Structure 1
Amino acid sequence: MAGHNKWSQIKRKKGALDAKRSKIFTKLIKEITVAAKVGGPDPDGNPRLRLAIQTSKAANMPKDNIERAIKKGEGNEGDYSEVTYEGYASNGVAIFIECLTDNINRTVQNLRTIFNKGNGSLATNGSVEFLFDRKGVFIVKAAAESAPDEDELLLELADGGAEEVEFEDGYITIYCAMEDFGALQKKVEELGMDLETAELQRIPQTTVAVEDPDAVRKILRLIDSLEDDDDVQKVYHNLELNEEVLAELE
């Protein structure tokens, strides 16, 4: 699964998070609002809201913004629909998109335009969803000092439901089944780990290798354009990003 997260790690290292902070805040505010509207304003009894708040804090969103978004959801404001779309980039790369929108017609038109410009195409529902597994993904900063023994940590995480753990570039990425997300989140908190992100992701079962760096750049530009759309919350793909191709992109 390391290749799946490699591109997001590179963007984080290059400071792309800061460059898109206002857009990220918009997406996080939507998620907080919907979570509070659907499950109530108390994060202790609303796992989705608790996760949204945690993610927002990790993105350095001001506390006032978080509180306003919760109140907006509590007041039954923000009439957003949760919808998903599927499509293909060039070279047969599958793309799955999660959206929160107050105008489905606008969203579909925008996505179709982005796909067309990026030499891709929207597909019918169910065309690519089966290519992805829903997994919990936790990214934590590895402690430089007073870190537990790696084998001991693996045992602790496995006890919390972890299926796979990767150590790379000062970060630890932990995967679990969707139904074990809450248990693993509690375990990570119990261990006092420095959690950067925790979310449910769609992990590709198999990946598509594209060797031509120019073709990879075009596919990644399409993915970035989809992520930039205001109605889009998450974009998942099965493009394989191996070390050789990544070296060409840097």
Structure 2
Amino acid sequence: MNLNQATAVVTGGCSGLGHATAIALRNAGMNVALFDLNDEVGAQRVEELGADNTAFFRVDVCDEYAVKTALEAATVKLGDIRLVVNCAGIAPAARVLNRDGEPADQSQFEKTLRINLFGTYNVSRLAAAYMAKLPVMGEAKERGVIVNTASVAGYDGQIGQSAYAASKGAIISLTLPMARDLAPSGIRVNTVAPGVMGTPLLLSMPEKVQDALVHNVQFPKRLGLPDEFAKLVIHIAENSYLNGETIRLDGALRMPPK
């Protein structure tokens, strides 16, 4: 897919991996719609990235009306949406039983699945409905690309990650059937499963904690860079034969129990 002057939607686009992706997409010549919840940070991001080619929309990814409305507004302001990158998510930690033998809060498990899994599916299905009506592009005759964000926790979840691992494992499992569903419409679906990434949240942790996270990374022995995630998103978007795949981005990391 030719990214130049096409429009991308990035959920969770105001921070972390989403922010890095938005920067990379703008540098690649795309118009970018940021779907996030923080109005103040959203305004800052639009100023940083350029108001002529970037727009912020306050969107709860689980809200069908909010997503539909934002997709319509983004199309009017920025043009046809050809790429959706789902980065919005949360990562709470809780053991199934705490130290006193009490069960974990069921509502927290439901909230994690709702935002990470249902939110990803909601944005993907609604965006796909828009993309399916667009004219085909290029020799591949594709209409759009969806890139979802899982995690290595979806494969080797650690102690306390039951909710998070379940949500990310479900996104991994969602990838191939969604790609098959959308293939007749010329829409590709892929997923990135990052390892320990150097997002601002993680970098704010004590150095001892960061060192412990890096310990099991094989090579290069460091945190992943958000920019490396963004580069992979761009490659997925541009490589028309890449479809239905989940790609680990983790320096050969396999997570230990804790």
Pair in the same fold by TM > 0.5 = no
Q: Which has the higher helix share?
A: 1
Q: TM-score, normalised by structure 2?
A: 0.24
- State the TM-score, normalizing by the size of structure 1: 0.24
More strand by share: 1
